[in-house]
Structure 1
Amino acid sequence: MAEESWHAARLIPTSGISGAEEQERRATSALLAVLSSVKEFGRALLGTVAAPAGNVETYIEVPFKLGGKDLRPDGLIRVRRGSREWTALVEVKTGKNALATEQLENYLDICRDQGFDALITISNEIPPSPDVHPTQVDRRKLRKVALHHWSWADVLASAVLQKEHRGVSDPDQAWVLGELIRYLEHPKSGALEFDDMGADWVPLREAVTSGTLRAGDPTITDVVARFDALIRYASLQLGRRLGADVVVQMSRKERSDPTLRAQILRTGLVDHGVLRGALRIPGTVGDISVTANLRTNTVTCHVDVDAPKTGRATTRVNWLVRQLKTAPDGLRLEAFVVNQRGAGASDLLAVVREDPAVLVLDATRELKAFRLEMSVPMGTKRGRGRGSFIDSVMNAVDTFYEDVVQHLKAWSAAPPKMRPEVATPPGEPAELTSTALSSQDD
């Protein structure tokens, strides 16, 4: 038999997974075991739920009684540091299985009765931000117990960041973490990619196209939630590639009130036929704004860049163009002046390269900022693959960052130069010559 057909032995095998129950049990056991054995990964992931640094213990299917009922949460995490102890129950779902409100409320009651600190849920549901939980529960049950959520995309992104970018000091632990990554990336693990805009996507898109979408349309709620999940998923995927913590950018009010964020998206859809999101990437000149226009069938990414504070207007334009050597000719540039109202001068990069003055309508007005914008055709299919909406958004974000944003640097003023000391003229006594700046003429 040829060796090419042999299967390598794996620490966490995917063979033998016969159903959802076995899938959840194996995923839970694999994650919790690695969480307790790979210290750097455990600290990074548990740090997101306010767990203290310390010795991590993990258990699966711990039995409890609640009101005469036998309950068995999928897992338990305990962190000990000196006399301090932090404990959380864990509930896991894989595949397309969703978290259930009644089950979570029962586990919150167990946490309260046992004096545990938190309940952590893990599923393929992706909320718009880490502060938002995908399942509604009775808020009164959260007075003494914290409720946290990790999507499997969160877990996988954190594992990749730790192994490939932040590092694991022990080679054996690094290999163990790599085995978890390999397992979660396998389709049989149940840790799915974001792959569906839902059954309401096509009817909503058709309603926008025909101009019949209204604020009360029942298709809006699910679509805006899935779009938020898509933007969050895009941030995680980009973060994995960059080795950076890419986050979804929202206002403080939107983060504190998820219903406000949903209402803003709803209004944008009804009034303008658009869905908007933004990504913040550490070290870049600005946030990447993403706009899906369902009326024009385009996905647009843009970033705003502050112009230099010195130099003529064309000099400032040239400063920007020099940084766009590898950017596509079809990139649209727009220039804004101080106290401007409305749109600024704009043209394609190919034109601006030949004549920077096309972005200067009035040379006497100070150029304040630029907007760089790239548009691509929007996919229409609800799933993944060629012609899908999800892939068109993901590809637009990746391409815009790779071709444009990663090459941009913010302007900084040149440091002041030290003036040379004035030499004493020949024949003049040194004591009569002052080298102080205040006594020198320009």
Structure 2
Amino acid sequence: MGAVPEFSRAMLKPLGAPAGRIECYIEVPFDLGEKRCYPDGLIRVSRGSRTWVALVEVKTGRNELATAQLENYLDIAKEQGFDALITISNEIPSVAGQHPTTVDRRKLRKVSLHHWSWTYLLSGAVMQKEHRGVSDPDQAWVLGELIRYLEHPKSGALELDDMGGGWVAVRQAVRSSTLRATDKSAPEVVSRFDALLRYASLRLGRRLGTDVMHALSRRELADPTLRTQSALTSLTEEGTLSGAIRIPDAVGNVHVTADLRASQVTCHLDIDAPRQGRARTRVNWLVRQLKDAPGSVRIEAFVANARGAGATELLERVREDPDSLILDPTKEIRRFRVEMSQPMGLKRGRGRGAFIDSFLELLDAFYSDVVQTLKAWSASPPKLRGEAEPEPTSLTSTSLSSQDGA
């Protein structure tokens, strides 16, 4: 943080820190009553007469943040007039901006509490070095060494590698239709799935060099309990876990659904059809963009003023016969859905036959084969009509005008 200003600026700006001189310290001692506390770090940013200070608490491996410890550090920050407390661990909250540890809200009146997962820090470092750039070569080397360290399996910066202790029980309960919303394991599985969506977003964004986000509505961002409740309802009533990922400049959000009854994971994306041309022309427009996609991709066509499902066919069949997606040539196709599925892994951890790996593999394949090849339709600009030849004499009723064509 102290050695690479571009990296520290990118990480600290969203927390409200000014752009200025950065100083970093470790294990600064503070007295809190009769106790002596040693936060893992302290960051101070100075710009003119303004100073922004944050304490830092770090956990590695499977160690989790402790409420009592964080509340002590919040009290210290308040006494010292500091601005924030930053926590770093392998915990990934289900909603961006939400802290994984519950603390007394009264202690946050004067001090803000922020959380970085190690995955988030690694993604930020890769995006800064590989995509945004570091002006100084020595600083770029330092940032590269941080990336190399965090990617090492013994660094303590772990990837998301577990769906939680209740995963197997919940999956079996869904298959037997015995899962209830009151089951204690269900909220944990929902939270882990949303954490997986955030992890997948950070992982994909690191490879693309852009900010990929877990897509939530404004209401869900304002009140995370709404997202939790809707996900619980979907899990108990339909046996599915679903969410969306927003990728900048993509034609639409990527929706991912895990069907625990069918043991299948599905990715789909909706794209508006062209507003001009016959139905067959619109189908061919989409098929041309999917020339390298596997034939197992499923396409669904929705027509105007129609309810329910549309005409559905596999891509390999549509390539041979575009009319297979057209039930009624007189109706206007307004939207397409492109979908890819694969069997779902069942294990709670990572590796062959694991749910997390099957989820990430499908998302990668769907993006490379479908999402990055699709472009939204845009109308061609109008063409100039032929101009009328000038009349040497005064205009008459039979003179050419701009409405008469060439």
Calculate the TM-score normalised by the size of structure 1.
0.89
- Alignment partner, residue 345 of structure 1: 311
Counterparts of 1:439 and 1:75, CA distance in 2: 75
- Alignment partner, residue 171 of structure 1: 137
- Partner of residue 440 from structure 1, selected from 389, 403, 406: 403
Counterparts of 1:87 and 1:40, CA distance in 2: 18
Counterparts of 2:198 and 2:270, CA distance in 1: 21
Show the 5 A alignment for 1:351-370: 351-370=317-336
1:82: how far off? Answer: 1.1
1:155: how far off? Answer: 0.1
Q: Secondary structure of 2:365's partner?
A: helix
> Partner letter of residue 429 of structure 1?
P
1:439: how far off? Answer: 4.7
- Alignment partner, residue 262 of structure 2: 296
> Partner letter of residue 324 of structure 2?
V
Show the 5 A alignment for 1:116-127: 116-127=82-93
Q: Percent same amino acid at aligned positions?
A: 68
Counterparts of 1:354 and 1:433, CA distance in 2: 57
Q: Please say if 1:156 is aligned against 2:122.
A: yes
Counterparts of 1:397 and 1:431, CA distance in 2: 70
1:310: how far off? Answer: 1.0
Note the residue ranges of structure 2 that are not aligned, 5 or more in a row. Answer: none
Given that residues 128 and 248 in structure 1 are in contact (C-alpha distance below 8 angstroms), is that contact kept between their aligned partners in structure 2? no
Given that residues 196 and 382 in structure 1 are in contact (C-alpha distance below 8 angstroms), is that contact kept between their aligned partners in structure 2? yes
Q: Secondary structure of 1:400's partner?
A: helix
Given that residues 87 and 114 in structure 2 are in contact (C-alpha distance below 8 angstroms), is that contact kept between their aligned partners in structure 1? yes
Report Cα offsets for 1:292-325 as digits up to 9, x if no partner.
0000000000000011111111111111010000
> Partner letter of residue 2 of structure 2?
S
1:263: how far off? Answer: 1.2
- Partner of residue 43 from structure 1, selected from 2, 5, 9: 9
Counterparts of 1:298 and 1:437, CA distance in 2: 67
Counterparts of 1:49 and 1:61, CA distance in 2: 21
> Partner letter of residue 192 of structure 1?
L
- Alignment partner, residue 56 of structure 2: 90
- Partner of residue 271 from structure 1, selected from 237, 245, 269: 237
Aligned residues: 404
Report Cα offsets for 1:198-232 as digits up to 9, x if no partner.
11111111111111111111111211111111111
Report Cα offsets for 1:10-44 as digits up to 9, x if no partner.
xxxxxxxxxxxxxxxxxxxxxxxxx1111111111
Report Cα offsets for 1:41-99 as digits up to 9, x if no partner.
11111123221111111111111111221111111111111111111111100000001
Calculate the TM-score normalised by the size of structure 2.
0.97
Counterparts of 1:139 and 1:337, CA distance in 2: 50
Given that residues 274 and 282 in structure 2 are in contact (C-alpha distance below 8 angstroms), is that contact kept between their aligned partners in structure 1? yes
- Alignment partner, residue 13 of structure 1: none
Q: Secondary structure of 1:94's partner?
A: coil
Q: Secondary structure of 2:366's partner?
A: helix
- Alignment partner, residue 318 of structure 1: 284
Show the 5 A alignment for 1:41-440: 41-424=7-390, 429=392, 432=395, 439-440=402-403
> Partner letter of residue 147 of structure 1?
L
1:422: how far off? Answer: 2.4
1:396: how far off? Answer: 0.7
Counterparts of 2:48 and 2:360, CA distance in 1: 45
> Partner letter of residue 387 of structure 2?
E
